[in-house]
Amino acid sequence: MKIWIVNHYAIPPSRSGGTRHYALAAELKRRGHDPLVIASSFDHESRNEARLTGSENHKVEESGGVRFLWLRTPSYGGYARRLWNMAVFALRLCFGRATRELEAPDVVIGSSLTLFAAFAALRLARRLRVPFVLEIRDVWPQTLIDFGMSRWNPIVQLFGWIERHLYRNADAIVSLLPGAIDHMRALGAESQTILWLPNGVDLSLMPAPSPKQPAEKFRVTFAGSHSGANPLEVLLGAAQILQQRGRSGVEFVLIGNGPTKASLKAQAESLGLDNVRFHDPVAKKDVHKVLAEADAVVALLKDLQLYRFGMSLNKLYDYMAAARPVLFSAKVIADPVAASGCGIVVEPENSKALADAIELLAGMSNEQRWAMGTRGRRYVEENHDFVKLGGKLEQLLLEVTGLAAKQETEAHAATV
């Protein structure tokens, strides 16, 4: 089965960020299929042209055993330029030479990390006359509304129309959000098969962990994007509280890049925080090394109604696979930290609650923290291993393409 996976921001593990579609493609390839990941050549994390040189507008290359088709898109910094970047990717996907030069697939998957990309993937599937599978990573445009944008904003209205169009025209839907199915049904996904396929962990990139050895400082690590979706100012508030309490034995390490990093560094300096350090991002294949150096890891979300649908934090499953206690400042349904007992969940956007939880963890024995961490590792092995998730996706694709019925017929004929 030839499978095209469209995700504007897909990356191989040699880059920093989420590698969901690389891992799923690798598993589908291991199962005998021919996947191709189609993504933008412009790297969102570093804000650099990372894959194409000179006059190249597209290129197919293999990375880590998975084929990628890179489409050139313009650089961006601000919001307007980012929208243009999304639009160019969609136009090149639909009308450019790159996809016309390749043998047609049996199915197209379009990820909604940008609705423009998912819409273009639907148009591409219809042109090629193959089934279209929609992947919902975030509920757009509700995400924009919950982050403060007016529901009457023209962009919100446009995204709302695209969202409804996608739900009504997809042949099947994959959702990363366990609570979004009723929302999808209400907006037009009335008859489609909807598969909950959460984010996961490529355990080949996360080797078996070992207990953290005692050190002079109790290290709390954040690894991920420094952006409005991750309210790291709450973490800085907890660092200030612990510094004021005289807890000199606790240090905070923030690893990554993003639009709020400069302001966060300025805030840490203005608060006189000597217990906070900022580091550059690391490649996905190396993230386990920095997590192994942590005594605890932290993930933060804003206090938004949006999370009534659930959430799909890549970093959270990496944290759990590293077998380190998780501090989770959030309120979400289907909370894996609470479900597994691998850490402490506190009220979102509450620096004091987070500081208290850090003190509680720091006061535990190494054995207690290791027990917490191993519960998280077991949980992701059982529920979020990309080998298992890839098998579920394979079955959906076989069904939507009709290949499952064909295989069943051939198997039956062979036994007659």
Domain hosting residue 375, numbered range: 218-383
Phi, psi of 107 (to 5 degrees): -160, 150
Reply yes or no on whether the pLDDT at 410 is more than 80.
no
Question: Are 104 and 234 part of one and the same domain?
Answer: no
Question: Are 344 and 407 part of one and the same domain?
Answer: no
Question: Domain total for the chain?
Answer: 2
pLDDT attached to residue 191:
80
One DSSP character per residue, 146-171 reads HTT--TTSHHHHHHHHHHHHHHHH-S
Q: How far is CA 214 from CA 30, 73, 295, in A?
A: 40, 47, 9
Q: Is residue 207 part of a domain?
A: no
| Mean pLDDT value across residues 185-211 | 90
Q: Is residue 206 part of a domain?
A: no
Question: Are 230 and 360 part of one and the same domain?
Answer: yes
Q: Band of the pLDDT at 415, cuts 50, 70, 90? A: low
pLDDT attached to residue 141:
79
Question: Are 225 and 262 part of one and the same domain?
Answer: yes
Residue 304 sits in a domain whose CATH number is 3.40.50.2000
Q: Is residue 113 part of a domain?
A: yes
One DSSP character per residue, 40-102 reads ESEETTTTEE-S--TT--EEEEEETTEEEEEE-----SSHHHHHHHHHHHHHHHHHSHHHHTS
Reply yes or no on whether the pLDDT at 311 is more than 50.
yes
Of residues 63 and 222, more confidence is placed in 222
Angle subtended at Cα 324 by Cα 322 and Cα 327, rounded to the nearest 5 degrees: 125
> pLDDT tens digit string along 78-106?
778 888 999 999 999 999 899 999 999 99
| Mean pLDDT value across residues 162-168 | 93
Question: Are 260 and 167 part of one and the same domain?
Answer: no
Question: Are 395 and 264 part of one and the same domain?
Answer: no
pTM exceeding the 0.85 threshold for the entire prediction: yes
Contact 267, 243 (CB under 8 A): no
Q: Is residue 213 part of a domain?
A: no
How far does Cα 164 stand from its chain's mean position?
23
Lowest mean pLDDT among 4-18, 98-112, 123-137, 385-399: 4-18
Lowest mean pLDDT among 13-22, 213-222, 280-289, 312-321: 13-22
Separation between Cα atoms, residue 25 and residue 19, nearest integer Å:
10
Length of the chain: 416
Q: Band of the pLDDT at 413, cuts 50, 70, 90? A: low
Contact 330, 319 (CB under 8 A): no
